[in-house]
Amino acid sequence: MITRARQINLALAAALIAAAVVSQARNAPEHPRDGRPGPAAVRGFTLVAGGDVLPDSTVLDRAGSDAGGAGYDFRPMFAGIRPLVSGADLALCHMRTVHDTAAPTGTYAFLSPPQVADGLAATGYDSCSTASGHTLDDGADGVRRTLDALDHAGLRHTGSARGAAEANAVTLLRAGGARVAHLAYTDGTNGLPLPPGQPWAVADADPARVVADARAARAAGADVVVVSLDWGTEWQDQPDERQLSLARQLTASRTGSRPDVDLILGTRSHVPQPYEKVNGTWVVYGTGDQVAGEMYDDRGVRDPRGDQGTLGRFTFSPPARHGGRWEVTKAEFTPLAFDLDAGRTVDLDAALKQGAGVGAVRDRIREVVLARGAARSGLTPTG
């Protein structure tokens, strides 16, 4: 027999359970089927992007020395920028060389040991673009070895592929409350042909294809679409007409009220190039080199600019309404240089604070980066 007190207790328990159900419903994800958080839970994210990684023989010698003569260790080489890279929600790099365990050379046909990928992963990078003028330096086998090495290191990748299915897949990355698509393309392969029967081996920077892929990425669930482009004229501080034209085309492309591309990251030039906001979208024309050895320009003259670069940092905030654009609410950059003697990538702002005489180099990079009015659009140095 249920007493009056027992009835009251049961009624109270039922009321509490009902209230909890209502509370859970109010705070449940907006899209419970795909596990994505509702608007109240969505948070923004930071994205950093580093420049070309193309170690020559002197860089490989340093990595061998850092490993104590047993293989290669690239982690010390990146240690100076690790706080900047690992501190971001998402970090993207550009792997310009082809990986080969047998005969790393670091010559024109850039072949590097797979430990480069381990060093990048240990630094905090999440994904690397692999489409470049050197992607086909060792044919299809080089593409396969490079992507195998990145997979082994736990790094995602985009821009080259071992098969058609991989080429058509979207590289989706989680950052904060967003899903970010990383796409990559090259504007040429130094005259090297695609492997026979493998038109998908490396992605070509055809604007129609880039837009189609960006829209496919949206359909696959991407909230933000980032495009890495290996383009432009080497050793030129300013973007060439091809870069300017392609940037305008891609940033002007929209689906409804929403741009198809949210950020463009450029590589290849070997020297830092400007950042610019084009049609409301940030474009980095050239990050410069993150790791390189003694660099010689197109006249065969040693050029210290080839060991300079930038690390871009972009803060994305979630849209005010469902289906809106994730906006870059803060854009920053850090000037970098590769110290040939020490074999280290250096944060020039941090080095200057420690008394190093790098002010002239740091200021020159800043001047180039801001040359197309990026400061008026809100770009600021991190230091």
Whether residue 324 lies inside any domain: the answer is yes
In a domain, 261, yes or no: yes
The reported pLDDT for the residue numbered 105 is: 57
Number of domains in the chain: 1
Q: Are 66 and 343 in contact (CB under 8 A)?
A: yes
The CATH number of residue 253's host domain is: 3.60.21.10
pLDDT, residue 69, reads: 85
Could you read off the pLDDT of 181-208 as tens digits, one per residue?
999 999 999 999 999 999 999 999 999 9
User: Out of 151-160, 276-285, 320-329, which region has the weakest mean confidence (pLDDT)?
Assistant: 320-329
Task: Show the domain range for 78.
Answer: 43-381
Mean pLDDT to the nearest integer, 286-300? 94
Q: 159: which DSSP letter?
A: S
Comparison of pLDDT for 124 and 20, the residue scoring more: 124
pTM confidence score: 0.89
The reply to whether 340 falls in a domain is yes
In a domain, 373, yes or no: yes
CA distance 211 to 265: 15
Choose among 153, 152, 132: nearest CA to 143: 132
Say how far apart CA 263 and CA 217 lie, in whole Å. 14
Whether pLDDT at 11 is above 60:
no
Is 17 domain-assigned?
A: no
What's the rounded mean pLDDT across residues 115-135?
97
Average pLDDT over residues 111-127: 96
| Residue 95 belongs to some domain of the structure | yes
Residue 20 lies in a domain: no
In a domain, 317, yes or no: yes
Which of the four pLDDT bands, split at 50, 70 and 90, describes residue 17? very low
For residues 211-231, one letter each, b for 16 or more C-beta atoms within 10 angstroms of the residue's C-beta and e for the rest, the string is bebbbebbeeebbbbbbbbbb
The tens digit of pLDDT for each residue in 69-89 reads 889 999 999 999 999 999 999
